[in-house]
């Protein structure tokens, strides 16, 4: 896709893992959404800790549903000021076209090329490039199949929520056990950049925010910019936006955890 000619500032965020149990992070996101000076916002996956189906939005007496509706209102309000693009992460890949549209967001395929200010960026959540995590790649292939998704979405909401809690418990246990996660595979990142004629890969997922120079000799040099996850109560807080401004090097903006 091509950036609108009028865009001067473009923001990228990912891995906020918004959930009802982490109100400080949600509040920081709400303030950011109301105040960003960006001309466009790209959300590169895992905005939500989990998304078990768009029918959650209509559920009554459900704290997750009330929280999701609040988030939708925030997205709607922002999308009236600036275009908001959404790419699925591995936690919220079931967020559907209907909720995206009702939230004012445009869904993007993973990966998506963005031409902005004479540069070609390649946008991805990043999980598909973590080739070292073989078990996860198998799981990903399975859950991205339309038949698996239709089968899952046909289950009662409570059953899907229980399944999601199980996955989160597994993931937390793995983290507590000190297991290390595969990072983005450099060869895969380079071949993806080459295939799309892009020079800079922007992705999240790994929670390892850093600027990597992949090929200094290429013209322009090939880079991989990794977004931070969000946690307002971590010490120090992690509330970071990657901001591109026409004519400037990419910048990272650290937001304040309290107003």
What residues line the site for Mn ion (CB under 5 A)? 46, 89-90, 205
The minimum distance between CB 203 and Mn ion, in angstroms, equals 9
Pinpoint the alpha helices (H) of 107-200. Answer: 134-143, 146-153, 157-176, 186-196
The minimum distance between CB 45 and Mn ion, in angstroms, equals 6
46 exposure class (CB count in 10 Å sphere: 0-12, 13-18, 19+): buried
The minimum distance between CB 258 and Mn ion, in angstroms, equals 27
Query: Which is nearer to Mn ion, 34 or 169 (by Cβ)?
Result: 169
Q: Tell me the residue nearest to Mn ion as measured from the CB.
A: 205
Distance, in Å, from the CA atom of 93 to the CA atom of 114, rounded to the nearest integer, reads 21
- Residue 146 to residues 47, 91, 142, 149, 203, Cα–Cα distance (Å): 22, 16, 9, 5, 24
Q: Which residue has the tokens 């909720």?
A: 99
Which tokens sit at 211?
A: 């600027």
Q: What are phi and psi of 194, to 5 degrees?
A: -60, -45
The minimum distance between CB 91 and Mn ion, in angstroms, equals 6
The minimum distance between CB 245 and Mn ion, in angstroms, equals 26
Query: Which is nearer to Mn ion, 50 or 84 (by Cβ)?
Result: 50
Please name the residues in contact with 220: beta carbons below 8 A apart, sequence gap of 6 or more.
Answer: 119, 199
- CB neighbourhood size of 25 (10 A): 24
Nearest residue to 224 (alpha-carbon basis) of 137, 116, 124? 124
The minimum distance between CB 197 and Mn ion, in angstroms, equals 26
The minimum distance between CB 38 and Mn ion, in angstroms, equals 22
Nearest residue to 229 (alpha-carbon basis) of 186, 181, 188, 170? 181
What is the Cα gyration radius of the chain? 18
């Amino acid at each position: 896709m091509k950036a609108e000619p009028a865009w001067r500032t473009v923001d990228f965020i990912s891995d906020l893992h918004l959930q009802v149990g982490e109100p400080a992070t949600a509040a920081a996101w709400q303030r950011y959404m109301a105040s960003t000076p960006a001309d466009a916002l790209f959300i590169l996956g895992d905005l939500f800790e989990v998304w078990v189906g768009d029918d959650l939005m209509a559920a009554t007496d459900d704290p997750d549903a009330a929280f999701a509706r609040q988030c939708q209102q925030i997205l709607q309000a922002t999308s009236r000021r600036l275009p908001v693009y959404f790419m699925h992460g591995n936690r919220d890949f079931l967020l559907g076209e209907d909720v995206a549209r009702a939230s004012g967001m445009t869904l993007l395929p993973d990966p998506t090329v963005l031409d902005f200010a004479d540069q070609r960026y390649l946008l991805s959540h990043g999980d598909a490039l973590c080739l070292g995590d073989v078990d996860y790649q198998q799981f990903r292939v399975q859950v991205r199949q339309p038949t698996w998704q239709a089968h899952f979405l046909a289950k009662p909401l409570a059953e899907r929520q229980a399944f999601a809690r199980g996955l989160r418990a597994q993931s937390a246990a793995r983290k507590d056990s000190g297991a290390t996660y595969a990072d983005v595979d450099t060869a895969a990142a380079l071949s993806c950049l080459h295939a799309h004629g892009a020079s800079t890969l922007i992705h999240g997922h790994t929670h390892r925010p850093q600027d990597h120079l992949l090929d200094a000799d290429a013209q322009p040099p090939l880079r991989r910019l990794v977004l931070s996850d969000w946690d307002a109560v971590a010490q120090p807080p992690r509330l970071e936006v990657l901001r591109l401004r026409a004519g400037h090097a990419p910048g990272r903006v650290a937001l304040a955890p309290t107003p």
